[in-house]
Chains A and B, each alone.
Chain A
């Protein structure tokens, strides 16, 4: 069920790396930096959501209140 998130992240990573290379070639360094940042932020939000779900499950499992 979460496996598609994994491949979504991989797709974002690949698209971001290609996009930043293209933007670098086109001479727009700062926009390449912006897209890299945007990619990392999007992936970070997905990861944080998953990790918080994991920590909630571990907390309820081991009664770690």
Chain B
């Protein structure tokens, strides 16, 4: 039933944003930011449950904690970067949005290097 509330909230907010867009575009943009934040704060319990399920799945498959926490970090960075770049695109400044995406890619690359090193060591060990 949560989905109905979310969709209703989004439709009402879109109408208000369109109402405010022609004479107060800055407040319309801030309203779209606020709606994004509200929806995520509502979804946090479900996301936390998923994170817990994934964690004890990985414990059962005895995957080392390094990989799983790296994956979660990358998901977090990707989400925040996406949040910011969508807002900048909404406001029409595509160059700033691409800067955010660029820095997010660099962070993710830096984070994923230890995992790559581990895979390379494994491969070297396997090769005769």
A10–B17 Cα distance when bound, in Å, is: 8
Interface residues of B (CB under 8 A from A): 9, 13, 16, 19-20, 23-24, 26-28, 30-31, 33-35, 37-38, 40-41, 44, 47-48, 51, 69, 72-73, 75-77, 79-80
- A50 lies within 8 A of chain B by Cβ: yes
Flag A15-36 by CB within 8 Å of B: 1 or 0 each.
Answer: 0110011000000000000001
Interface residues of A (CB under 8 A from B): 2-3, 5-6, 9-10, 12-14, 16-17, 20-21, 36, 39-40, 43-44, 46-47, 50-51, 53-55, 57-59, 61-64
Q: A14-B19, A58-B76, A63-B73 are in contact. Are A6 and B13 (CB under 8 A)?
A: yes
Q: Are B76 and A62 in contact (CB under 8 A)?
A: yes
Q: Are B44 and A57 in contact (CB under 8 A)?
A: yes
Q: Are A10 and B31 in contact (CB under 8 A)?
A: yes
- For A2, list chain B residues within 8 Å (CB): 34, 37-38, 41
Q: Are B37 and A50 in contact (CB under 8 A)?
A: yes
- For A39, list chain B residues within 8 Å (CB): 24, 27
- For B75, list chain A residues within 8 Å (CB): 62
* Interface residues of A, dominant DSSP: helix
- For A57, list chain B residues within 8 Å (CB): 40-41, 44
Using CB atoms, name the residue of chain A closest to B79: A58
Q: Are A6 and B35 in contact (CB under 8 A)?
A: yes
